[in-house]
Amino acid sequence: MIVRVHGCGGASQKFGPFDVAAHDDLPPPTIDEPVEAGTQWITVASDHAGAQVALFRNGVYETSALSRGTQMATPMLAWSAAFSLGEALTANQALCTQVSDMSPAAKVVFPKPKAPLLLNPASGATGLPVSGIQFSWSDPGQNTMAEATNFFLDIKEDGGSIVLQGQTTGTSLTPSMMLDHDTKHVWGVTATNQGGSTKSLGRTFTTKDAPPPPPPQTAALAFLSQLFATYDLVNNLWPVPSGQ
C-alpha cells in the first residue's frame, strides 16, 4: 500500500509502500465497575482508537461513541434515562469490517453514599472545650438513592490513634467523653448505606489550655480548713473537746 499526501499548494509526497497485515481478532471493550443506580454515565475502555463502541442496556442498543485508544477511556452517556438497580450493561466495538463479541455484563448496583461535608467545628478551630463539642455535617446524597443511613464520627489526636468514636443516624453528634487539654485533634465522618461506605475529608481543631493549678495552701488556710472540718453541721455547734 502507498500513501500520497497532498499539500495546499498542489505538491504531494509519497510514502510507502507499506505491507498490509491481517488484523487480529477484535476483543470486546471493558465497562468500568461499579456502575451505580441513578447515574447516566459509565466509562468504557477500549485499546483500539477509532473503533465504534456501542452500549447496550439489558440487551437493547442504547448509544455509541468513538474509542480514543489506550489509556484514554471513552465516556458514554445513556441518553434515555438513569440506570436502575439490577440492570445489565454490555458493550461491543466495531472496527473496519470486524465486530467484537459482547463484553461481560456489568450489573447496576446500589450507590454508595456521598462523602459527608463537615460543618462544625470549623477547620483549624482553636480554644475548644474538652467536652460538649457539637460536631455537625451535611449529607450531599440526602433525598437520593445515595442517602446515608448511618454516620460514624472518629476523633484522633493529630498523628496519633483514635481517641473517640460515635455513631448516629442524624447529621450531628455531641460526645460526652472528655478530650485532652491543649491538644490538636483530627475529626472526620464516615457515611454508610447498603451500597457501602464513604469517608469525609479530615478537619483539625485544638482544645483549650488546661486551667491553672490552685494556689498553694497557707498555714492559716490549712488551720481554718481543719477547724471547719470538725464543725457539727447537723446540730449547728462546735464539738466539745473530750474530757470537758
**157 grid coordinates:** 489526636
Q: What is the pLDDT of residue 80?
A: 75
Interval 167-178: pLDDT, tens: 999 999 999 899
Domains, the chain, with CATH or none: 3-109 (2.60.40.10), 117-207 (2.60.40.10)
Average pLDDT over residues 180-191: 97
Exposure string over 104-139, b if 16+ CB within 10 A, otherwise e = eebebbbbbbbbbebeebeeeeeeeeeeebebebeb
pTM (two decimals): 0.69
Contact 3, 20 (CB under 8 A): no
**Separation CA 92–CA 63 (nearest Å):** 11
Interval 226-243: pLDDT, tens: 655 565 555 556 566 555
Q: What is the pLDDT of residue 68?
A: 76
CA dist list (Å): 158 to 58, 86, 163, 189, 235: 50, 43, 10, 16, 56
Contact 46, 93 (CB under 8 A): yes
Average pLDDT over residues 27-34: 92
Classified as helix, coil or strand, 64 is strand
Contact 46, 29 (CB under 8 A): yes
